Amino acid sequence: MAFSDTGGHDLRIVTRLPKSPTGIEGFDQITTGGLPTGRPTLVCGSAGCGKTLFAMSFLVNGATKFDEPGVFMSFEESNDELAQNVASLGYDLPALIEKKKIVLDHVRVERSEIEETGDYDLEGLFVRLGFAIDSIGARRVVLDTIESLFSGLSNQSILRAELRRLFRWLKDKGVTAVITGERGEGSLTLQGLEEYVSDAVILLDHRVVEQVSTRRLRIVKYRGSSHGTNEYPFLIDEDGMAVLPVTSMGLAHGASTERASTGVARLDTMLGGQGYFRGSTILVSGTAGAGKSSLGAHFVDAACRRGERSLVFLFEESPQQVVRNMRSLGLDLQPWIDRGLLEYHASRPALHGLEMHLSLMYRAIERVRPTIVVLDPVSSLLSVAATGDVRATLTRLIDHLKTQGITALMTSLSHGKTELERTDAEISSIVDTWLLLVTLESSGERNRGLYVLKSRGMGHSNQIREFLLTDHGIELVDVYVGTGGVLTGSARLTQEAKERAAETAQQQEIDRKERTLARLRTALEAELASLRAKFEAEQADLATGIEEERARIARLRDDQQSIAESRQADTDNNGSERRNQRHVDKRRSRKR
């Protein structure tokens, strides 16, 4: 009718397939809304893969979160067993039954008690289901596992016809149904239920690879809706069931220019003076005991000092161990833990598969909402999966962290010189900053060195620094680079001593020369003084002589004057003066 009204060319009027949210974390995301409303969905998988829990989560969440009461018709477990089993997920079935939110109906089919004679149908089942649905106004129905009927009743053709009728009847009732089915050889279910339930088919899987089990979920079919086609890991724990859509988010994340201190002042300097970019990913790789974890702890400590939240995933040590070890570096992390700024998650890599690790990390990150995440060490994940898988997993994790602007520091253990960059190379291309911690062996010692191998988007030091773990934290010192290679440790100390000695010698030489100069200057001055004294003595002597000479001349003149006066000479004074002068000159030259 809608089509004829619009002339058949405006298809937007077609309403999108209505969906009923399952309330299962992540599942509604990958199905863009949940299960198809008013239609049956087949959930299949092998024994113990979580079919019943999936169905029960769908039902309980419907009753508690979406105000849609539900009927759980169990063909395997009794009501008490069911209630007990899901109590571990935090579902209180008796209370929900009490509140008329849920009806449990256990259908028990015992072949030994049943004799079949002649024609029959399953109207009894319809009546029971219809009664249960009507009694609480149920919108959701679970049939778990209806295939059990095939072992209880022998007339297959009646069964098949009746199941077909049942699924149609459920659709007519308009209830959203989940039908579980056991996985069969070469088919999705043992009895080929997928032929009858064709709207949506979900496959659950529980695989064990190298002794590590991972639960996975795949949407095989979802008629009329787009959906993720990947296999998604899911987990079942005390918080219920969660599917983890850990697909790569693409590369649309923003890039912050803000920096976060590394917690080591000298390292900040090496990284353009301010530390790591916020939201970037840092890889710290190095051999055993190179100080990778310590570097991580400094970063965390610095963050906590700024009042930021940090989350650390440990794959090899326990939190207590880390706290104790860091105390020896003068870092006390316990107060941060007590104040809720720092949280540790420790798990052995082999405890879960990669996917599960990733999932758990997502969950923890979601809950804690940290600004800093440390993974220590990512290389141990290689023990549970192939390198390519680890890389893929870490890429997804990094993408996830980047979209949230979380700075991540990963440590990675490299085993030896030849393998130094093998594992790291796999992940190095996805990190922004790569610090390499190396052990430098020389003169019978191992010492630690640190390089910045790369650091995207910032100027950084190209020099190797010696890396010291002291009782007051990490210290970076310059190393000596000479013809004999890089000197560290006591070789560096020797070199330092040598340089100091050389410096002292030079200083002494300078001092010696300065002293000589001073002595020369003193000598010069003494000589000058004696010369002056001599000069002054002679000067005085000569001056006296001159005076005496002058006095004699004066006396002589006086004598001549008095003689002339006595002779009463009348010559003028001038003429006699000149003659007298000549007379004196003659006498003087004669004297010589």
Partner 1 sequence: MEMTEIGPGAASAAPVEVEQILRLYIAGQTPRSVKAFANLKRICEEHLKGRYRIEVIDLIQNPQLAAGDQILAVPTLVRLLPEPVRKIIGDLSNTDRVLVGLDVRPAS
Residues catalogued as catalytic: 76, 316
Could you tell me the two tokens for 266?
């000298």
- Give the torsion through C-alpha atoms of 169, 172, 177, 182, to 10 deg: 30
Determine the interface stretch with partner 1 among 123-131, 292-300, 378-386, 507-515 (rule: CB under 8 A). 123-131
Residue with token string 């109906």: 105
Q: What are the two backbone dihedrals, phi and then psi, of residue 26, each rounded to the nearest 5 degrees? A: 90, -30
- Written as one letter, the residue type at 270 is M
CA–CA separation, 432 vs 10, rounded Å? 49
Q: Binding string, 46-85, against partner 1, x = CB under 8 A?
A: ----------------------------------------
111/415 with CB nearer partner 1: 111
CA–CA separation, 246 vs 233, rounded Å? 8
131/535 with CB nearer partner 1: 131
148/490 with CB nearer partner 1: 148
Could you tell me the two tokens for 432?
């922004």
123 counts as binding partner 1 under rule CB under 8 A: yes
135/318 with CB nearer partner 1: 135
Whether the CB-CB separation of 436 and 464 falls below 8 Å is answered with no
3/120 with CB nearer partner 1: 120
CA–CA separation, 167 vs 196, rounded Å? 7
Q: Binding string, 447-486, against partner 1, x = CB under 8 A?
A: ----------------------------------------
CA–CA separation, 276 vs 254, rounded Å? 15
Q: Work out which of 127, 497, 524, 542 binds partner 1, going by CB under 8 A.
A: 127
CA–CA separation, 530 vs 528, rounded Å? 6
Question: What separation in angstroms does the CA of 551 have from each of 545, 581, 589?
Answer: 10, 15, 19
Q: Which residues in 89-118 contact partner 1 (CB under 8 A)?
A: 105, 107-109, 113-118
Q: Binding string, 153-192, against partner 1, x = CB under 8 A?
A: x---------------------------------------
Q: Work out which of 66, 92, 97, 128 binds partner 1, going by CB under 8 A.
A: 128
Minimum distance of partner 1 from residue 143's CB (angstroms): 12
Minimum distance of partner 1 from residue 190's CB (angstroms): 19
Considering only CA atoms, give the Rg of the chain. 50
Minimum distance of partner 1 from residue 173's CB (angstroms): 14
Question: What separation in angstroms does the CA of 295 have from each of 221, 292, 569?
Answer: 48, 5, 125
CA–CA separation, 18 vs 557, rounded Å? 153
How many residues belong to the site for partner 1 (CB under 8 A)?
Answer: 24
Q: Work out which of 87, 95, 120, 512 binds partner 1, going by CB under 8 A.
A: 120
Whether the CB-CB separation of 487 and 480 falls below 8 Å is answered with yes
CA–CA separation, 67 vs 59, rounded Å? 10
Minimum distance of partner 1 from residue 74's CB (angstroms): 12
Question: What separation in angstroms does the CA of 404 have from each of 365, 399, 408, 424, 428?
Answer: 10, 9, 11, 24, 21
119 counts as binding partner 1 under rule CB under 8 A: yes
Minimum distance of partner 1 from residue 126's CB (angstroms): 8
Minimum distance of partner 1 from residue 76's CB (angstroms): 14
Q: Which residues in 518-557 contact partner 1 (CB under 8 A)?
A: none
Q: Rule CB under 8 A: which residues touch partner 1?
A: 105, 107-109, 113-128, 130-131, 149, 153
